[in-house]
Amino acid sequence: MNSETAKPVPAALRDQPAGAEVLRVFSEVYSSIMIAYDAGQHTLYYAPAQLASLLGYNPVDFQQGYSSFLEVIHPEDRAFLEHSLGNLKALQKPADLQVRLLHKNGTTPSFRLNVKATQDASGAILLLSDHQIHDSSLNEIDELRQAKAEMISELQRSNKELEEFAYVASHDLQEPLRKISTFSGRLLEKFEESIDEEGKLYLGRILASAENMRLLIDNLLEFSRISRVGQQFTNVNLNFVMMQIRNEFDLIIDETQARFQIEKLPDVEGSASLLKQLFSNIVNNAIKFRKAGVPPEIVIKAMPVSAAEKQQMRLQNGLAYQKILVCDNGIGFESEYATRIFQIFQRLHGKSEYPGSGIGLAICRKITDHHHGLIFAENIEGQGACFTIILPERQSAPTLNK
C-alpha cells in the first residue's frame, strides 16, 4: 500500500471549509464505513482500521488516502468513482454502484458504494456498506434490472402502438364523418320546405353531433401527433405567442369583454406551435369557464424558478427554469380534481353546460412533458383557477428524477 500523510478524520473535517456541511450530511446517513472527500485537496478521509478489517489487511500497514483507497477497488470499477468525484456539481442525486474490492486473500467481494455530494459540491460523502453482496443477491438484482428494462421497453412499444392506432383510427374516421355532415346539410337545405319541425330538429342534432365528433377527432389527432412528429426547438418569444393568441381570440374576447393583464414574459427554447397551443388551451379554458355575468379577467406573469423550488420539484440541475402563471376569476374547480383535469377525456362539467372534448388539458400536459417541463393547477377559493407552467429556458435530455 502507498503511504500518504493525512490527519485524523475529526481534525480533517474541522480544518476543511466544507466541514460543517460534511458533518450535516453525516448526520443524515448511516453506514459502517463513512468516507469524506475534500474536492479542493482531492483527498479522502476515512478510518483505515475499518477498511483494513473489512478486507483482511493489517491496520498498521493500511494507510488512508485517495490512492490507497483506489488500490483496493477492482481496476474495472475505479472509473465510476473517479468520474463521480470529478463531477460533483453534476451529481444530482446519490450515485450508487456495486463495487468489487480486492481482499488480501485474493478474492474480489462485491459491496455497495454510495456517493453523495455536499450541497455546495465542495466535497462528498462515500458510504461503503460493510455487508458483502453475495452472488445470489447480484443475480437477483441483475434479473430485476433486466425485468424492469423489459417492462419499460414493452410499455414504450405499447404506448407507441396505441398512439399509432389513435392516429390512424382518427384519420380514417374523418371521411365518413365529413359525408354525414355534408349530406345532412344538403338534405336540410334542399328539403327545408317539406320537412316538418321535428325532422328539422333531428337533422340539426345530427349536424351538431357530427361537429362535436369532428372536434373530438381533431383533438385526438393533435394529442397523438405531439409525440409522433419530431418538433424542432427554437428560441420562442412568449410575448409574441400571447399576442398571436389574443389576436385569434379577438371575437370571443369582445363578446365576453375579457380583460388581460400580461406582464413581460421570457424567451424559452421549444416548439413555437406547441407552446402556442399550450397557452391557447389554457386561455380558452379561462374564458370558457367564466362566472355567469362576470367578464373574464386573466392575469399572466412569469418569474425564474428559485433553487429551493427546483429542489422541491426535482428539476434538472444545471438548467434555468421559468415559471409562468395563468390565473383567472372563473368558476374554478374542486381541489380534489387538481390532477384529474389533466387526464384525457376527463370532464368536470356537462357538455351542454360547457362544450368541449375533454382533451385540451391532457394536450397541455403532454406538451409540457415534451418540453421537459411541468404543469399543475390550483383552485383559489372564491377567486378562480391558477395554472402554473414550468419550462426550462434551454432544452436538454429529460432526467430520471423528474
The CATH number assigned to the domain holding 173 equals: 1.10.287
Q: Does residue 117 fall inside a structural domain? A: yes
The CATH number assigned to the domain holding 116 equals: 3.30.450.20
Per-residue pLDDT band for 400 (boundaries 50, 70, 90) equals very low
Mean of pLDDT values over 206-211: 80
**Cα–Cα distance, 195 to 197 (Å, whole number):** 7
Cell numbers 480486492 label which residue?
Answer: 102
pLDDT value, residue 139: 55
Mean of pLDDT values over 212-239: 74
**In the predicted structure, residue 27 carries a pLDDT above the cut 60:** no
The CATH number assigned to the domain holding 243 equals: 3.30.565.10
Look up residue 341 and give its three cell numbers: 383535469
Mean of pLDDT values over 261-279: 92
Mean of pLDDT values over 366-386: 88
Cα 306 to Cα 32, 311, 313: the distances in Å are 36, 9, 11
Specify whether 287 is located in the same domain as 402.
yes
**In the predicted structure, residue 165 carries a pLDDT above the cut 70:** no
pLDDT value, residue 11: 43
Q: Does residue 378 fall inside a structural domain? A: yes
Q: Does residue 282 fall inside a structural domain? A: yes
Q: Which residues contact 174 (CB under 8 A, 6 or more apart)?
A: 214, 217
Give the distance from CA 94 to its chain's centroid: 19
Within 87-119, residue ranges assigned H as helices are none
Specify whether 239 is located in the same domain as 373.
yes
Identify the domain containing residue 222 by its residue range: 135-229
Q: Does residue 4 fall inside a structural domain? A: no
Mean of pLDDT values over 111-120: 80
Within 229-271, residue ranges assigned H as helices are 238-248, 250-256
% of the chain residues with pLDDT over 70? 74
Specify whether 60 is located in the same domain as 145.
no
Look up residue 339 and give its three cell numbers: 390532477
Specify whether 24 is located in the same domain as 44.
yes
Specify whether 129 is located in the same domain as 140.
no
Residue 268 bridge partners (DSSP): 236
Specify whether 376 is located in the same domain as 252.
yes
Per-residue pLDDT band for 55 (boundaries 50, 70, 90) equals confident
Specify whether 339 is located in the same domain as 290.
yes
pTM exceeds 0.85 for this model: no
Specify whether 390 is located in the same domain as 285.
yes
The more confident residue out of 364 and 165 is 364
**Cα–Cα distance, 264 to 169 (Å, whole number):** 42
- Of 133, 159, 183, which residue sits at a domain end? 133
Q: What number of other Cβ atoms are within 10 A of residue 235's Cβ?
A: 11
Angle, in degrees to the nearest 10, between helices 135-190 and 197-228? 150
The more confident residue out of 81 and 238 is 238
Q: Does residue 1 fall inside a structural domain? A: no
- Of 114, 133, 152, which residue sits at a domain end? 133
Give the distance from CA 133 to its chain's centroid: 33
Q: Does residue 380 fall inside a structural domain? A: yes
pLDDT tens digits along 342-352: 877 555 554 54
Specify whether 182 is located in the same domain as 322.
no
CB 399 within 8 A of CB 92: yes
pLDDT value, residue 4: 40
- Of 108, 133, 158, which residue sits at a domain end? 133
Mean of per-residue pLDDT scores for the chain: 77
**In the predicted structure, residue 8 carries a pLDDT above the cut 50:** no
pLDDT value, residue 170: 63
Structural domains of the chain, count? 3
The more confident residue out of 211 and 375 is 375
Q: Does residue 339 fall inside a structural domain? A: yes
pLDDT tens digits along 68-84: 788 888 888 888 788 77
The more confident residue out of 203 and 215 is 203
Q: Does residue 3 fall inside a structural domain? A: no
Q: What number of other Cβ atoms are within 10 A of residue 137's Cβ?
A: 14
The overall longest dimension of the chain from CA atoms, in Å, is 109
Specify whether 268 is located in the same domain as 397.
yes
pLDDT tens digits along 275-306: 998 999 999 999 988 998 899 999 999 999 99
Specify whether 14 is located in the same domain as 63.
yes
**In the predicted structure, residue 164 carries a pLDDT above the cut 80:** no
**In the predicted structure, residue 375 carries a pLDDT above the cut 90:** yes
Specify whether 174 is located in the same domain as 116.
no
Cα 193 to Cα 136, 187, 201: the distances in Å are 84, 11, 14
Q: What number of other Cβ atoms are within 10 A of residue 175's Cβ?
A: 9
